[in-house]
Amino acid sequence: MILSIDDVRKEEVRITRGISWERTALDLVDELCFNPDISMLLNCRHLIINFSSEGALHVDNPDSNRIFRLIYDPAHMENEWKGKIEGHCLGFMSCLTAGIVSRFVEVSEHAVKNENNVDAGIKAGLSAMRTMHLKGHGQVNDGQIGFPLTKVAEDICRPSNKYASIALPELENAGDSINSRWTIMMTAHFKGAKESPLPLYDIGIRAALLGPKALTNIPYAKFGKLFTVDRNEIESLRIFRKMIIDYEKYDKGKKPLSLTVFGSPGAGKSFGIIQIAEGVLGRDVPILEFNLSQFAGPEDLIGAFHQVRDRVLEGTTPVVFWDEFDSKKYLWLQYLLSPMQEGKFQEGQLTHPIGKYIFIFAGGTSFDMENFGEPKEDKKAWDKYKLKKGPDFVSRLSGYLNVLGPNRRQYFDKKTKIWIDDPMDVCFPVRRGLLKRSILKLFGDEYLKIDRGILSALIEVEKYNHGARSMEKILMQLKQLGDDVIRRSNLPPAEIMSIHADYESFIKIANRHLEFKTNADLLAPSVHEFYRKLGEKEGWLREEMDKDYNDLPEDYKEDNRQAAARIPQVLELVGLYVVPDSMPSLSWP
C-alpha cells in the first residue's frame, strides 16, 4: 500500500506537521497502532506513507517483529522543499511507486532477497518526485507537454537527492508520542543503547570544524543565521515561526501577538527570535528592545509604548523585545495587560490604540516556562503573584520558547529549590560547535582553522559561566585580527579566562594530547610501514618511500611523526579517546 499523508489526515487522526521529524513520525506511528480509523492499514505486508517529496514512513510487516522506518530529508520538513518552488503538477505518486517497483525488479533479476530494497526504492521515488516538480509537464504553449519520462527514469536509476533512514521506537500506549523525548540524533549515534549516554563531543567537534555537512543524517533547521539540531529548539522555533507568519498574514491587528522566551543568562534568548522575525517580516523589520529592570517606574512604559505606536504608524509590524519582564517581583505584569489584551495603553485621561505589533517577553527569574511564577503549594507566594496579575498575564500569551544555549539544559528541583544540570541533555556539545561558527561568522561549509587542543577544550569545558556571552568573549580573544587561524597563543590570561570558564579544567583538556605527542617517535615507524604496505598493495607506492623508516630522509620521517601525533585528534572525531596506560612503560606494535 502506497499513499500520501494528506489522505491519512482526512481521517480523525492527530498527526502534526512542520514541527519536527520526530514528532510527526511518532504521531503517525501512534495513530496507526492505536486508532481504529486507520489501524487496518497495518495489515499490509508493506505500508508506505509519504510526506510529499521530503520523506516517508515504511512499515515492514514480516511474520513477526513489525518495523517502522522513517526515510527523511534532514534539511527539510514536510512540504518545505516543495514550498520553495512555485506551481504544482500531476504524477508525484506515480514517481514514488515507480521508484519502489524498480528496486523490486532489481531483486527479482538478481535473485537476491533484500527487504532493504524497499527503502532504497522509496528514496529513489522521493528523489524522482523532486525531479518531476522541477521539470513539470513542459510549457503550456509549446505543444510538447507531457510526462518527463526520461528525466524521471534517470533519477530513479541514479537518485540526485539524498535521504536518510532510521528505525522508530515502539510505543507502548496511545498518546505516548506526545511526551516522547526520543531523537533521531541519539538513536543514530548510540545505535539504540539504553544506558545513560555520554555527551556528543565528537559531533560537536565535527560540527565546529565542518559546519552543517558534518551533521550527516541528523535533522536540522536553519533560521537566518541560527542553525540548530536540537529537537526541542527545532520544534519551538518552528511553532514560533508559524505563529508570526499567521499573525502577519491573517490577523487584523486589534491586539498584539504575545510570546515569551526563557533561558539561563547568556543563552541567547533574543538571537533566535530576531532571526525568525527578520526571516518572516523582512530584514528591515523594526526591532525595539527595552530592559524593564532599568525602568524607574510604570510611567517609563508610556514612552516605550509611544515608540511602538510610531513604528506601527509608519506601516510596519514592529517586534518589541521586553527583557527581564518579570523583574522587581513581577511589578510590570499588571501594566502590560491592557496592551496585550486590547492593543491600547492609557496616558492620563487619554487611551491610545497601538495597532499591529509583536510582543516578545524575555524572562529573568526562571530558565523555562514550566517554572515561571510561584507554586500554588506556597499559598502566601501564590496570592502575591495573583495580586501582581501573574495568572492573567500567562493567559494572554500565545506561546513560549525555552532557549538552551551552550551549557547543559537545567531543570528545577522543587525539593532543593535550585536549578540542576539535566544529565540526559547530551546535545550541548553540538550546540556549542554550531554556536562557535555563528560567532565567528562561518555560515557555510568553510573549514574552521583552529588549534585542535583549544577546540576540544571549547567543546568539552564543563560550563561557560555567562553562557553564550562567555563563549563569545573567549573566541574574540582567540580570533586576533589578521590571523585566519585560532591559536592557543592568543588565549586570554588565567585571571580573564576565569571570568568565563574554569581555567584549570580548560587548559587540562587543551593539553590532553601532549603526553601522547611526546611519544610520537615510537609510533612513526609503524605508521610508515602501514603506509608502505598499503601503497604496495594498491599500486601507488613511490620508489623513494619504499624504504625502511630509518633510511628515509628527515622530512619524510617528520611526516610520519606528525601523522602519529594526530591519532588522538582523529579518534576524537568519532568519540574515542587515548588515555595513559597504567603500565610505566609503553610498547608499540
Is the separation of the CB atoms in 250 and 356 below 8 Å?
Answer: no
pLDDT tens string 497-553:
999 999 999 999 999 888 888 888 899 999 999 999 999 899 998 888 899 999 999
How much is the pLDDT for 424? 82
**List of residues 6+ apart from 371 with CB closer than 8 A:** 412
pLDDT band of 481, cuts 50, 70, 90? low
Question: Contacts for 171-175 with beta carbons within 8 Å, 24 or more apart?
Answer: 171/26, 171/29, 171/30, 171/33, 171/34, 173/34, 174/30, 174/33, 174/34, 174/35, 175/30, 175/34
Looking at the predicted structure, is the pLDDT value of residue 109 above 80?
A: no
Fill in the amino acid letter for 555. D
Q: Rounded to 5 degrees, what are φ and ψ at 132?
A: -60, -45
How much is the pLDDT for 98? 95
Looking at the predicted structure, is the pLDDT value of residue 115 above 50?
A: no
**List of residues 6+ apart from 152 with CB closer than 8 A:** 95, 98, 128, 131, 132, 135
Looking at the predicted structure, is the pLDDT value of residue 368 above 70?
A: yes
Domains of the chain: 2-176 (no CATH), 230-421 (3.40.50.300), 449-512 (no CATH), 515-572 (no CATH)
How much is the pLDDT for 196? 54
> Which has the closest alpha carbon to 231: 72, 23, 491, 519?
23
Give me 521's grid cell: 617517535
How many residues are given for the chain? 589
Give me 469's grid cell: 556571552
Q: Rounded to 5 degrees, what are φ and ψ at 283?
A: -65, -20
pLDDT tens string 417-451:
788 888 888 889 999 999 899 888 887 788 999 99
> Which has the closest alpha carbon to 54: 92, 91, 86?
92
Give me 524's grid cell: 612513526
How much is the pLDDT for 272? 76
pLDDT tens string 159-190:
999 999 999 988 888 888 887 888 898 887 76
d(CA 196, CA 425): 10
How much is the pLDDT for 309? 94
Q: For the full predicted model, state whether its pTM sits above 0.75.
A: yes
Looking at the predicted structure, is the pLDDT value of residue 583 above 50?
A: no
Looking at the predicted structure, is the pLDDT value of residue 262 above 60?
A: yes
Q: In the chain, what percentage of residues exceed pLDDT 90?
A: 51
Burial (CB count <10 Å: 0-12, 13-18, 19+), residue 397: middle
C-beta neighbour count of 4 within 10 angstroms: 17
pLDDT tens string 7-62:
999 999 999 998 999 999 999 999 999 999 999 999 999 999 999 999 999 999 98
Is the separation of the CB atoms in 406 and 363 below 8 Å?
Answer: no
The DSSP H or E segment spanning 259 is strand 257-262
C-beta neighbour count of 494 within 10 angstroms: 11
How much is the pLDDT for 191? 57
d(CA 121, CA 292): 57
pLDDT band of 110, cuts 50, 70, 90? very low
How much is the pLDDT for 584? 42
Higher pLDDT, 72 or 241: 72
Give me 278's grid cell: 527578520
For the chain, the first-to-last Cα distance in angstroms comes to 56
d(CA 123, CA 125): 5
d(CA 231, CA 20): 7
pLDDT tens string 264-322:
777 777 777 788 888 888 888 899 999 999 998 889 999 999 999 999 999 999 999 99
State the average pLDDT over residues 112-116. 52
How much is the pLDDT for 586? 41
Query: Cα–Cα–Cα angle for 444, 264, 233, nearest 5°?
Result: 45
> Which has the closest alpha carbon to 501: 453, 463, 452?
463
> Which has the closest alpha carbon to 455: 209, 151, 172?
209
Q: Rounded to 5 degrees, what are φ and ψ at 437?
A: -65, -35
How much is the pLDDT for 46? 94
What is the DSSP secondary-structure string of 207-249?
A: HHHHGGGGSTT---EEETTEEE--HHHHHHHHHHHHHHHHHHH
Higher pLDDT, 268 or 490: 490
Is the separation of the CB atoms in 128 and 160 below 8 Å?
Answer: no
Write down the mean pLDDT value for the chain.
88
Is the separation of the CB atoms in 405 and 468 below 8 Å?
Answer: yes
d(CA 352, CA 307): 12
> Which has the closest alpha carbon to 321: 366, 355, 357, 346?
357
* Poorest-pLDDT segment among 115-129, 412-426, 572-586: 572-586
Give me 127's grid cell: 528523489
> Which has the closest alpha carbon to 244: 264, 265, 258, 230?
258
d(CA 94, CA 96): 5
C-alpha to C-alpha distances, 341 to 61, 154, 525, nearest whole angstrom: 53, 57, 75
What is the DSSP secondary-structure string of 431-476?
A: HHHHHHHHHTT--SSPPP-B-HHHHHHHHH-S--TTTHHHHHHHHH
Looking at the predicted structure, is the pLDDT value of residue 194 above 60?
A: no
Higher pLDDT, 114 or 355: 355
Is the separation of the CB atoms in 305 and 354 below 8 Å?
Answer: yes
pLDDT band of 108, cuts 50, 70, 90? low
Higher pLDDT, 83 or 560: 560
* Poorest-pLDDT segment among 95-99, 201-205, 578-582: 578-582
